[in-house]
Structure 1
Amino acid sequence: MSDINLARRAPQRPYRNGPRFRMARTVVALMLREIATTYGRSAGGYVWALLEPILGVALLSIIFSMAFREPSLGTNFPLFYATGFLPFAMFNDLTNKVAASVRYSRPFLAYPSVTFMDAMLARVILNALTHTTVIAIVLSGIFIIFQLPVVVDMMSIFECLVMTTILAVGVGTCNCYLMTAFPLYERAWGIATRPLFLMSGVFFLYDQMPAKAQDFLWYNPILHCVGLMRRGIYPTYDATYVSPGYVFGISIVLIVFGLLMLVRNYRNLMER
């Protein structure tokens, strides 16, 4: 009887341990798939991921250096616009990637072991790490090329990256449901968010805006992410208007709402 019991118990060990790592294996597999499809199997895809923000920062620096003698903060145009453009680009790209996660991984979601949470986590982790690496390379390159003194607050920079990621996940989760359930919403969202680039403090400091504009723009959570990044790069910039609690609060509410809508309507969305 003891041998029979041991024989029965032996096959159960892999089954017990399997689900514990199933989600991790699925997320890693989806990440590898996106690396192959988005960035290609060569280094060229990642080179473009690095060149795109560099070209964006360079273009802003050239244009505004012709109109102004100095940027709104500091004396280096590339550094000022990099601290505004890079967090905004991270938020924008992560939001779009999370919003399209269900449609992007639809063929794999037919398998019982793959859920929409796996697809979303894979895209968040991969693209957050990619943008973090790009930000580190671009800012380090600016400091080295222009021989600027490196006095940065790493905690503020880290908090900015976390805050931007969570905000993007919250907005992207809600958009994931809305864009999948209502295809026209994607166009409406694209039109409505075009002014965000001008309203997020990329070009000018929040402190230098008119009082009426400050009262309105303070409720833009991306503005807080940009301000926190500049606080981390410029030691003399306090950015007292930044409220991490406000951004995290909005992000959590959006994540909870988006996940509830996806869980309740997941089957219907898969049939569209």
Structure 2
Amino acid sequence: MFDVIFALMMRELKTRFGNNRLGYFWAIAEPIAQVMIMGIVFSIIGRNSVSNIPIALFLFTGMLPFKLFGNLLTQLSAAVDANKGLLSYRQVTAIDPVITRIIIELVTFLLVYVLIFSVMAWLGFNAWPDNVLGLLSASTLLIIFTVGLGLILCTAISYWKDASKFTAMITRPLFFISGIFFCAVMIPPQYWHLLDWNPIFHAIELSRDSFFKAYESPVGSWFYLSFCALVSFSSGLALFHLSRQRFINL
């Protein structure tokens, strides 16, 4: 299994980044460009900080977790369908391309996260998280939730090809309501219920709560995020396991 995953990883890296010399560069440039654009918008309206947090750090702590969610969900939902030709080999099982894509996305996220915040620290920002364990816990719960959702979509695609369109339908609206460029304290309490059903919003709120000593989230719930992660991951694994024979016969 280790050999299969290693071979699939080399294949994925060559397919995704190898044909484009700037492939690795875009993994870093995309979130930076988006943060720069939103930072300019905030500067135009006269805001240089949010809850005493520099706007660049505030945006990066929302953008990077959401990019992890979006990229991981997109890659996992198509993991089996994109590698179905390899499932005819006895050594390759349906879970192998899933594990491969999880590893690639997590390593990419970690490298981009460390690189961006290292540069921010070099520029003079206080870019070291106040609560490292809390930040890791929020990121881990977000990953577990996303993996479960990705397995559900991956299974759904094996029954209905057009289910792949749900990935964009999920990620695009969530971009605007997950707290990337705003936080709970900027919203009147009577409207919190419109957003606190969203586990991504809780993950970003808890990440900022852990990262910045100056920010304390009024709505971020560890219990709710953990519950969503458990339900999503359990459901995804169960559906994927029940459909394992179908993947081979695609």
TM-score, normalization: structure 1? 0.84
Question: Aligned pair in 2 of structure 1 residues 151, 93: CA closer, same or farther (>3 Å)?
Answer: closer
Question: Aligned pair in 2 of structure 1 residues 82, 176: CA closer, same or farther (>3 Å)?
Answer: same
Task: Tell me which of 160, 168, 186 is aligned to 2:146.
Answer: 168
**Structure 2 partner of 1:144:** 122
**Structure 2 partner of 1:117:** 95
Q: What is the CA distance between 1:41 and its match in structure 2?
A: 6.5
CA distance in 2, matches of 1:157, 1:168: 17
CA contact 2:158–2:246 (8 Å) conserved in 1: no
**Structure 1 partner of 2:23:** 45
Question: Aligned pair in 2 of structure 1 residues 260, 73: CA closer, same or farther (>3 Å)?
Answer: same
Q: What is the CA distance between 1:255 and its match in structure 2?
A: 2.1
CA contact 1:151–1:235 (8 Å) conserved in 2: no
CA contact 2:118–2:127 (8 Å) conserved in 1: no
Q: What is the CA distance between 1:154 and its match in structure 2?
A: 1.6
CA distance in 1, matches of 2:186, 2:134: 21
Please tell me whether residue 224 in structure 1 is matched to residue 202 in structure 2: yes
**Structure 1 partner of 2:63:** 85
Q: What is the CA distance between 1:200 and its match in structure 2?
A: 0.5
CA distance in 2, matches of 1:177, 1:68: 47
CA contact 2:77–2:157 (8 Å) conserved in 1: yes
**Structure 1 partner of 2:113:** 135
Q: What is the CA distance between 1:71 and its match in structure 2?
A: 3.1
Q: What is the CA distance between 1:268 and its match in structure 2?
A: 3.0
Q: Which amino acid aligns with 2:149?
A: V
Q: Which amino acid aligns with 1:72?
A: V
CA contact 2:94–2:248 (8 Å) conserved in 1: no
**Structure 2 partner of 1:63:** 41
Question: Aligned pair in 2 of structure 1 residues 158, 176: CA closer, same or farther (>3 Å)?
Answer: same
CA distance in 2, matches of 1:240, 1:206: 7
Q: What is the CA distance between 1:125 and its match in structure 2?
A: 1.1
Task: Tell me which of 188, 193, 196 is aligned to 1:215.
Answer: 193
More RCO (CA 8 Å, sep 6+): 2
Q: What is the CA distance between 1:240 and its match in structure 2?
A: 4.4
Please tell me whether residue 179 in structure 1 is matched to residue 157 in structure 2: yes
Question: Aligned pair in 2 of structure 1 residues 75, 216: CA closer, same or farther (>3 Å)?
Answer: closer
CA contact 1:156–1:232 (8 Å) conserved in 2: yes
TM-score, normalization: structure 2? 0.91
Please give the secondary structure, in 1, of the residue aligned with 2:172: coil
CA distance in 1, matches of 2:90, 2:177: 43
Please give the secondary structure, in 2, of the residue aligned with 1:46: helix
CA distance in 2, matches of 1:94, 1:47: 18
Q: What is the CA distance between 1:122 and its match in structure 2?
A: 0.8
CA contact 2:184–2:218 (8 Å) conserved in 1: no
Q: What is the RMSD of the two structures over their aligned residues, measured on CA atoms?
A: 2.0
CA contact 1:224–1:241 (8 Å) conserved in 2: yes
Q: What is the CA distance between 1:156 and its match in structure 2?
A: 2.1
Task: Tell me which of 183, 188, 194 is aligned to 1:205.
Answer: 183
CA distance in 1, matches of 2:20, 2:243: 38
**Structure 2 partner of 1:265:** 243
